[in-house]
Amino acid sequence: MTGSPALTLYGYWRSGTSYRTRIALNLKGLAYEQRPVNLLENAQSRDDYRSLNPQGLVPALMVDDSVLVQSSAILEWLEERFPDPPLLPKAPDLRAVVRAMAMMVACDIHPLNNIRVLKALRSDFGADDGARNAWIAHWITQGFAALDTLIARHGGTYAFGDDLSMADCHIVPQVYSAERFHVPLDAYPALMRAATNARAHPAVAAASPERQPDASPS
Amino acid sequence: MTGSPALTLYGYWRSGTSYRTRIALNLKGLAYEQRPVNLLENAQSRDDYRSLNPQGLVPALMVDDSVLVQSSAILEWLEERFPDPPLLPKAPDLRAVVRAMAMMVACDIHPLNNIRVLKALRSDFGADDGARNAWIAHWITQGFAALDTLIARHGGTYAFGDDLSMADCHIVPQVYSAERFHVPLDAYPALMRAATNARAHPAVAAASPERQPDASPS
């Protein structure tokens, strides 16, 4: 393979899965074009976007003429195609720890709190804002408690040791979401130290929602 | 590294994440001991189990004296430590497709329908069995529609081509769950063909819930 592929990220400024993909792209030092998909206008469900991603979810990463979907799979692809700087340690046992941290967010926190689920809680069960915020806080609290234990055990400057990893790519957007929904975070000092350090890294900071082209005052 | 590590799987016969881990272990031809964790008795929340997995979720895989958690991370570890037979194709672009299929189940279907979420729907919103079954069917239907499109595009005997992969490890348990909750599956012919073929493989069949030591009539 010669040269870098043309990369276009279809995402939404405040989507956690888009945010984690931006962090990884930035950490790899890759240039990419952004095509905003406005979730509030349901743009992800339109035919033109579904022709790219039949699931109708963000993000999608166009690589030359092909499309990658599912942010955690995209991060693994980035790691394989652009190994430097690495977002996983070398030893399988340590890679498994980093991936477990990432999956705690990707599988057990984020999916329960994203916009399509919150909409369903309202439409199916009449959940008002208070009930939905309690729901969000519940799953974040459960997941962060476990993550804090793992980060206290394995973390350094960042979630795993002193190098940014896939774990941080997943954790930083989840902390952003927790703050947005006013979830108290004092009980997770190891996690918050790692997240604060990660956010201060220029590549991570450049991925933050308010710095994206489609950001709007909320 | 010399010899194979001693492997002990902490899981539950009907848990989808335990099931997918058993399939992968079996496909790799690995021997492992099973330690059932009875989710109906909340055994996953007890201190002895939480000392293994602070998240209090199944599965956990004990490898000699260390513990791996998060089934999708465990599958990646198995692939790295025991590469033969592979559960991912070789080329990064193709690996990304298989991982995307796996993540559609791991992130966008299963987490919304597992036992702790169904309990929360009942306790937080008073959801009865009918409402919970509609919730389950909704997320399975959404995810399976997208998966069926991808499998029609990339599948052969199995979900991706003619070799069993991480995608099948994730899809087979999700089909089992869909059948258990009587979700109509006629609209997903490519997915169902792949799942039927996968289930007929002896290593996959040996992982099925009813063949586990803790299986009980339901």
pLDDT in tens, B105-121: 999 999 999 989 999 99
pLDDT tens track for A17-46: 999 999 999 999 999 999 999 999 999 999
* Alpha carbons A214 and A73: distance in angstroms, whole number: 24
pLDDT tens track for A160-191: 999 999 999 999 999 999 999 999 999 999 99
Angle at the Cα of B134 from the Cα atoms of B132 and B140, rounded to 5 degrees: 105
Sign of the torsion angle spanned by Cα atoms B27, B28, B31, B33 = negative
Going by pLDDT thresholds of 50, 70 and 90, the confidence category of residue A2 is low
Do the two domains B9-84 and B92-204 of this chain adopt the same fold?
no
Q: Which fold has domain B9-84?
A: Glutaredoxin (3.40.30)
Q: What local confidence, expressed as pLDDT, does residue B200 receive?
A: 98
Instruction: Give Cβ neighbours of residue B65 (< 8 Å, ≥ 6 apart).
Output: none
Average pLDDT over residues A39-61: 94
Average pLDDT over residues A82-94: 98
Pair of tokens at residue B109: 């279907």
3-state secondary structure of B159: coil
Q: What local confidence, expressed as pLDDT, does residue B164 receive?
A: 98
* Alpha carbons A45 and A40: distance in angstroms, whole number: 11
Going by pLDDT thresholds of 50, 70 and 90, the confidence category of residue A1 is very low
Domain spans, chain B: 9-84, 92-204
Cβ-nearest to B111 among A108, A126, A146: A108
Decide: A17 and A162 in contact? Cβ < 8 Å. Answer: no
**In a mutagenesis test of the A interface, which of B55, B67, B88 is the best target, namely the one with the most A β-carbons within 10 Å?**
B55
| Exposure string over A64-97, b if 16+ CB within 10 A, otherwise e | eeebbbbbbbbbbbbbebbeeebbbbeebeebbb
Q: What local confidence, expressed as pLDDT, does residue B2 receive?
A: 52
Greater confidence (A157 vs A217) lies with A157
Closest-CA residue of A relative to B92 is A77
Q: What local confidence, expressed as pLDDT, does residue B1 receive?
A: 47
**What is chain A written as a DSSP string?**
--SPPPEEEEE-TT-HHHHHHHHHHHHTT---EEEE--GGGTGGGSHHHHTT-TT--S-EEEETTEEEESHHHHHHHHHHH--SS-SS-SSHHHHHHHHHHHHHHHHHTHHHHSHHHHHHHHHHH---HHHHHHHHHHHHHHHHHHHHHHHHHHBSSSSSBTS--HHHHHHHHHHHHHHHTT---TT-HHHHHHHHHHHHSHHHHTTSGGGSTT----
Q: Is the predicted ipTM greater than 0.95, yes or no?
A: yes
- List, for chain B, all residue ranges whose pLDDT scores fall below the cut of 70: 1-2, 218
Closest-CA residue of B relative to A59 is B100
Bridging pattern class, strands A33-36 and A7-11: parallel
Is B145's CB within 8 Å of A102's CB?
no
Is B131's CB within 8 Å of A110's CB?
no
3-state secondary structure of B157: coil
Asked if the peptide bond before residue B213 counts as cis, ω within 30 degrees of 0, the response is no
Closest-CA residue of B relative to A50 is B146
Is B106's CB within 8 Å of A106's CB?
yes
* Alpha carbons A195 and A158: distance in angstroms, whole number: 7
Average pLDDT over residues A114-127: 94
- What number does CATH give the domain A92-204? 1.20.1050.10
Q: Tell me what the pLDDT averaged over chain A comes to.
A: 96
Q: Chain B partners of A131 at a C-beta cutoff of 8 Å?
A: 124-125
Instruction: Give Cβ neighbours of residue A34 (< 8 Å, ≥ 6 apart).
Output: A8, A9, A11, A212, A213, A214
Cβ-nearest to B120 among A70, A104, A138: A138
